[in-house]
Structure 1
């Protein structure tokens, strides 16, 4: 009893001293202990995710990859794996595990090393949020106190959910939701038991146990996790055996992108950074929705890429990228041929698939291009053979493909932008075995390809509210991040003319006004040089009605109209369309498009003509949500209407117009619209109105002139036939509710096409980034003409002659609009109040009493229609004029 009493007293003293010591330590470090109550409302650093309007993920920004998950959405097997491996008594202890602490203490005494930390899930979470990984006693003590406090503030499930979302798991993945995506490209519920065990084993040492960089170590760790689950009876022996025998299937995955649209994503990212700052934008978990739908954006990207390849192919093939073997002997006049650095020194050595893949991996490539090496070239034994030349290639992925002659015959040699070599007759005229080339898939057939040296852009708007429907800034963002749609200020050429004609209408001209289409020769005494603006081509029709002049894009008429309006007045009128006045040239060249503007600025200006005279503001972001999906911000655009109410027929400066189609996109979701929607006294929804910068009558008249610019006009038989410069639009799209304008600058350095349907407007541009380089000319490729007997196939590479807006830029617009208008019923432009239609003489623009082919109906703003009738001796009948013959196909094309 004496000894027991002594031991009891000593134990009591020791316990008291221990408690006192702990209390002392607690009060000593208390000032340094954080308040864990912040974990109640903790905000995990989550990357910004950018979606299309309809919810397709297009990009993710942020150093840390995190996909927050709710505990109820986590597979039970994953929870069991984590608990079994990291803290089997998690639901039993109060933040620290006495058994684990005792085990760690014994290990420390026996080894003298801090090998086991005895950290519970709660302690790991405390360290992750508030402490470092330093192995010190003071850090461990702080960790214990914080963990105890956390257990008092949070429930076990809340702690576990935070842990599952917070823990670092390698490759910038934080939390198990991100790890499932990074390593397997799946969400948690799609993981197998083997995959669950693999990522559940990562918290101990993410870099050392990583299944991507250390697959052998990850297999060992996976087995340990599975054994712990088996010990805890979370899995059966059969499940263990199956999972433990599975191969490593992890590989690094990028963000779960539904649509790769980097030019659009980059615009939105920069706007978010400007608003929130870089760190907050990248870590705040924002879900940003673009105004562009996925299918529209994809159609724009495909249209730009296809058109740039078409241009590039009709100007010739620049040859293979390099050679892996079979280096051809260079002609005396040729540049030395380069051979891949990976080529074996012995050219007779056969390349293995791995060596080919390694060499092709080093070749830069951008969608839709695929690097490949030519392994066989087949040419028919005789010219009379029914067999066509072809080549066999092995691509980057080791797949063997056959490129038929149809995918080769375009590849005549490139000499300059305006000169091409002879058409190839055999496949060996183009490539030899060992050549490294690009191939691409077009209309389900593979063809030889090359990276286009030319650049292009397209931007499309909803003309009613400025919502950007698509934006493409070049061939590939990964080749050049310069966004030509929003950053490249290029001379606009004839795309300026609709604004000049609008100024003329405001100054009293009408669509029937006759202007002299004749050469201008004006001496400038200050420079000693004569200014001689010319039509392109240099053909002149004499007196011509304004409608025809715009449709044919007559340069000298544009100059004369600008002079009639007055230079300063014309500049101020152009500025109404959203252009900066100081960027509008202060000389007469402004009428020919010498000003430089971005495609986005041009399409905004054109939208005024499409929507009835309203200047809308382009915007790329429709709405911003937080990481919980709650609305933070909703775009509140100004609309092209006045007043802007949802119900029925609307009034716009006295005209009747139905806004149902215009409002449909935004009115689908009433929640989260912020101040965008207000209720009138009658209960209808009211939108803010955009400023009306020109009258609806002016906008309609210019737009209607632009309609004749995209079609054939008059009668072939009556010799009144003429074609607008953008005639291909009507020929291909086969609809009459379109309007547009081509644009070509001097020497074709910049080519444009802007056009619209009532609900969509788009501008396309093509040119070289080097502004001193023009687009050149293309000669006839007989191979393509033989393959396609239609001599002038607008989409083929058989187009010949100099490049211009109709050949180089318009095909992008047409392909895009083919998608946009598919299934959309034709709907003519609404005629606003204050516009009348009268019959006029085709030649003089005066009123007429005749009803034959010498007359036509024309639109006028009410009060501006002609008052004088044409005299009999003024009437010209082209059909009776033997010298005036209808144009032949050669004249037109």
Structure 2
């Protein structure tokens, strides 16, 4: 007993001194300890996700990949795997595990090294939020005090949930949700036991133990986790053995992109940065919903790509990207001539030359592909067939239908002779591009198109972007031609010029002289002679017909009559910057440079009754919990009549302090009258539906007649556009609930889209589409041949099942019967007359005189025009 009391006293004194020392240490470092109160409302750094209007994932932005999960949504075996491996007494200790500390201390005493840590899950959480991973005594002490504070503030489940969402797990994956997606391409609930154990083994060394960087070490660590789960009784022996021996399939997965629309995603990303700043946009977990439905975006991308391939292929094949090996020539001795003559002879089947399959795989793995194009290598050439090798596809046979288009490209306006055999096109060892043609359902030889294209489709009632394509491939060029490329618009400017004329009292029946113009320019010493294309001049012509036929000289005469200043002022109503418009008569022919989005926005005003809606492409922004933070509230086109307003009320939402409430509709400013918009649209309809009777020699075609032939709808209206030397081609039009603009040209503005010669193979392949769409076109390229096919392909698919929508005839619009030739009133009801729309007060008052009357039936064959040019 004599030793007990001293020992007890010593123990009490030491304990008391330890408490005092610990308290002193706490108060000493307390000013350096962070407040843990922020953990109650912690906002984890979560990447921004961009979705289509119908909820398909388009893209994800942010350095850190995180998919926050509530504890109830994390599988129980995964929770058990983390607890067994990282902190088996988590629910029993107050944030610091005394047993773990004692074990670490004994290891230090025995080895002299700090090889084992005593960190609990709470302490790891403290380190992850507030400290570094540095192995230092002071950091460990701070970690301990912070962990004790956390345990006082949060429940055990809250701590565990934060930990599993915060922890770094390698390859920029933070939290178990992101790790499941990155390593296995699954959600957390889809993982099996082996995969859960793999993820649970990562916290110790995420860079070295992950299944991508070090598969073998990751597999060994998985076994350790499973053994701990077995020891803790979470799994039985059979489950342990099955999971421990499971195949190791970890590989890197990106975000599960469901709709590839990178140009749209980039637009939304830049807009979000402008609104919130880069850091918040990339880390606040915003879920951004675009105005674009996935079906329309997919249709637009396919239309642009197919159209560019059609243009590119009718201009010829530019040859393989490289020749990787040459087939050795066969040498055969001619004894009679006693010389060595090179002749082609079959080579033995067992004689090898060229590259091995592994060499081809290694080469192709380093080549960039741009969907739908795939890099490939020609391995065999037969008479009218080739065999190619492509990564992930293996060996593919391409028959003559996939080759015969490839006559040589010489210049943009000249092509070589049609190939007769496959050897005229490629040889073994050629590095080429191939693509799967979805229309013919077969593989074919291909190439990356030289020309570029763009498409913009808007809802004319509110300006919502329904589809947007900025080029063939965002990964080849991030330049968004739909929003950034200012190109000359050619005849796409004419609807706006004609609208200005209507504003000045002109009517659809006004007669304008379609005759050559010769204007001497004293300053330059040359004459300006705008020309029609083709160079056919019809003399006096009605304004409706002039727009339908895209008569250039008529457009110039209208500009002169209205006045350049008034034309510029009127064009400004359509959103075109008046300071960027040329101040000369070339404006009437489309010398102005505009983006496809600007043109489409201008056309919406014609399509919606005269209201200047603003294009927008973000429908709403939600937080990571799906709560709406911002909802678009665009100004819309007003209903046609006041009586319709109640039926057109918009169910819009605004967000204020988290509360949703309805908003009354905001009406866009009206910049042209309904009557003007209606009549301008009517003239644009003429470009598609033409007019007259073939049997009575009154028939003629507008420049957009192909849309009528290929689309069985009666509510279409449009306008082609071609600039000088066909450097830019356009088609803009409307139908159903959409306004769409397409553009095709070269990024190099010095290049012309040129012309094509006859390719009999393409004509035979598409006899029904000869000179309508596709590759079979012959002659000079223009808006109708180059840009319009993309418009037709997109609109045909976009409007499938959409009812035809005709504009309501505005008040003060009247119809009278006119003479087709003079535009005057007539009492005839035959082919020489037609009903025409007029704004009340502008209709003709005189009847056609017998001396003026002309019967087209007596004049011979009608003139059919289908081209236009600036």
Displacement of 1:657 in angstroms is 5.2
The equivalent position to 1:694 in structure 2, one of 637, 652, 672, is: 672
Is the alpha carbon distance of 1:201 and 1:376 closer, same or farther for their aligned partners in structure 2, counting shifts above 3 Å? same
Q: Tell me the distance in 1 between the aligned counterparts of 2:564 and 2:479.
A: 34
Q: Tell me the distance in 2 between the aligned counterparts of 1:110 and 1:178.
A: 40
The equivalent position to 1:390 in structure 2, one of 385, 388, 402, is: 385
Q: Which moved more, 1:36-45 or 1:391-400?
A: 391-400
Find the counterpart in structure 1 of residue 862 from structure 2: 886
Report the secondary structure of 1:872's partner residue.
Answer: coil
Q: Tell me the distance in 2 between the aligned counterparts of 1:294 and 1:204.
A: 42
Alignment partner of 1:572 is 2:569: yes
Q: Tell me the distance in 1 between the aligned counterparts of 2:104 and 2:357.
A: 52
Is the alpha carbon distance of 1:673 and 1:722 closer, same or farther for their aligned partners in structure 2, counting shifts above 3 Å? farther
Alignment partner of 1:403 is 2:377: no
Find the counterpart in structure 2 of residue 754 from structure 1: 732
Find the counterpart in structure 2 of residue 561 from structure 1: 558
Find the counterpart in structure 1 of residue 358 from structure 2: 354
Displacement of 1:377 in angstroms is 1.7
Is the alpha carbon distance of 1:845 and 1:269 closer, same or farther for their aligned partners in structure 2, counting shifts above 3 Å? same
Displacement of 1:878 in angstroms is 1.1
Displacement of 1:671 in angstroms is 7.4
| Contact residue 299 and residue 819 of structure 1 kept, 8 A | yes
Displacement of 1:886 in angstroms is 3.4
Alignment partner of 1:39 is 2:34: no
| Contact residue 201 and residue 225 of structure 1 kept, 8 A | yes
The equivalent position to 2:370 in structure 1, one of 362, 366, 371, is: 366
| Contact residue 655 and residue 661 of structure 2 kept, 8 A | no
- Trace 1:682-831 onto structure 2 (pairs within 5 A): 686-790=664-768, 792-831=770-809
Q: Tell me the distance in 1 between the aligned counterparts of 2:727 and 2:308.
A: 15
| Contact residue 635 and residue 676 of structure 1 kept, 8 A | no
Displacement of 1:399 in angstroms is 1.9
Displacement of 1:630 in angstroms is 1.1
Find the counterpart in structure 2 of residue 337 from structure 1: none
Q: Tell me the distance in 2 between the aligned counterparts of 1:886 and 1:659.
A: 49
Q: Tell me the distance in 1 between the aligned counterparts of 2:497 and 2:549.
A: 15
Q: Tell me the distance in 2 between the aligned counterparts of 1:785 and 1:30.
A: 85
TM-score, normalised on structure 1? 0.92
Displacement of 1:796 in angstroms is 2.7
- Trace 1:65-464 onto structure 2 (pairs within 5 A): 65-326=65-326, 349=353, 351-379=355-383, 389-443=384-438, 444-464=441-461
The equivalent position to 1:651 in structure 2, one of 633, 641, 655, is: 641
Number of positions where the alignment pairs a residue of Structure 1 with one of Structure 2: 845
Alignment partner of 1:549 is 2:546: yes
Q: Tell me the distance in 2 between the aligned counterparts of 1:365 and 1:478.
A: 9
Q: For 1:168-221, what per-residue CA distance to the aligned partner results, in whole angstroms no more than 9, with x for missing partners?
A: 000000000000111111100111111111111001000110101100000000
Is the alpha carbon distance of 1:328 and 1:498 closer, same or farther for their aligned partners in structure 2, counting shifts above 3 Å? farther
Q: Tell me the distance in 2 between the aligned counterparts of 1:678 and 1:284.
A: 25
| Contact residue 492 and residue 731 of structure 2 kept, 8 A | yes
Displacement of 1:373 in angstroms is 1.2
Q: Tell me the distance in 2 between the aligned counterparts of 1:760 and 1:101.
A: 69
Q: Tell me the distance in 2 between the aligned counterparts of 1:326 and 1:781.
A: 30
Q: Tell me the distance in 2 between the aligned counterparts of 1:103 and 1:128.
A: 23
Alignment partner of 1:862 is 2:818: no
Is the alpha carbon distance of 1:97 and 1:616 closer, same or farther for their aligned partners in structure 2, counting shifts above 3 Å? same
Report the secondary structure of 2:752's partner residue.
Answer: coil
Q: Tell me the distance in 1 between the aligned counterparts of 2:462 and 2:720.
A: 24
Q: Tell me the distance in 2 between the aligned counterparts of 1:439 and 1:472.
A: 22
Q: Tell me the distance in 1 between the aligned counterparts of 2:598 and 2:690.
A: 29
Q: Tell me the distance in 1 between the aligned counterparts of 2:528 and 2:751.
A: 23
Is the alpha carbon distance of 1:837 and 1:659 closer, same or farther for their aligned partners in structure 2, counting shifts above 3 Å? farther
Alignment partner of 1:516 is 2:513: yes
Is the alpha carbon distance of 1:147 and 1:224 closer, same or farther for their aligned partners in structure 2, counting shifts above 3 Å? same
Q: Tell me the distance in 1 between the aligned counterparts of 2:13 and 2:291.
A: 73
Q: Tell me the distance in 1 between the aligned counterparts of 2:125 and 2:542.
A: 79
Displacement of 1:503 in angstroms is 0.3
Q: Tell me the distance in 1 between the aligned counterparts of 2:865 and 2:462.
A: 42
TM-score, normalised on structure 2? 0.95
Report the secondary structure of 2:599's partner residue.
Answer: helix
Alignment partner of 1:581 is 2:578: yes
Report the secondary structure of 1:49's partner residue.
Answer: strand
Q: Tell me the distance in 1 between the aligned counterparts of 2:298 and 2:361.
A: 30
- Trace 1:832-843 onto structure 2 (pairs within 5 A): 832-843=810-821
| Contact residue 752 and residue 810 of structure 1 kept, 8 A | yes
Q: Which moved more, 1:752-761 or 1:556-565?
A: 752-761
Q: Tell me the distance in 2 between the aligned counterparts of 1:476 and 1:290.
A: 20
Displacement of 1:676 in angstroms is 13
Q: For 1:516-568, what per-residue CA distance to the aligned partner results, in whole angstroms no more than 9, with x for missing partners?
A: 11110001112222111111121111111000000000000000001110010
| Contact residue 637 and residue 676 of structure 1 kept, 8 A | no
| Contact residue 37 and residue 153 of structure 2 kept, 8 A | yes
Is the alpha carbon distance of 1:593 and 1:867 closer, same or farther for their aligned partners in structure 2, counting shifts above 3 Å? same
Give the unaligned 5+ runs of structure 2: 330-350
Q: Tell me the distance in 1 between the aligned counterparts of 2:787 and 2:55.
A: 30
Alignment partner of 1:639 is 2:636: yes
What RMSD, in angstroms, separates the aligned Cα atoms of the two structures? 1.9
| Contact residue 701 and residue 865 of structure 2 kept, 8 A | no
Report the secondary structure of 2:46's partner residue.
Answer: coil
| Contact residue 702 and residue 865 of structure 2 kept, 8 A | no
Displacement of 1:789 in angstroms is 3.4
Displacement of 1:166 in angstroms is 0.2
| Contact residue 676 and residue 688 of structure 1 kept, 8 A | no
Report the secondary structure of 2:418's partner residue.
Answer: coil
Q: Which moved more, 1:569-578 or 1:432-441?
A: 432-441
Find the counterpart in structure 2 of residue 873 from structure 1: 851
Q: Tell me the distance in 2 between the aligned counterparts of 1:426 and 1:675.
A: 70
Give the unaligned 5+ runs of structure 1: 330-346, 380-388, 643-649, 680-684
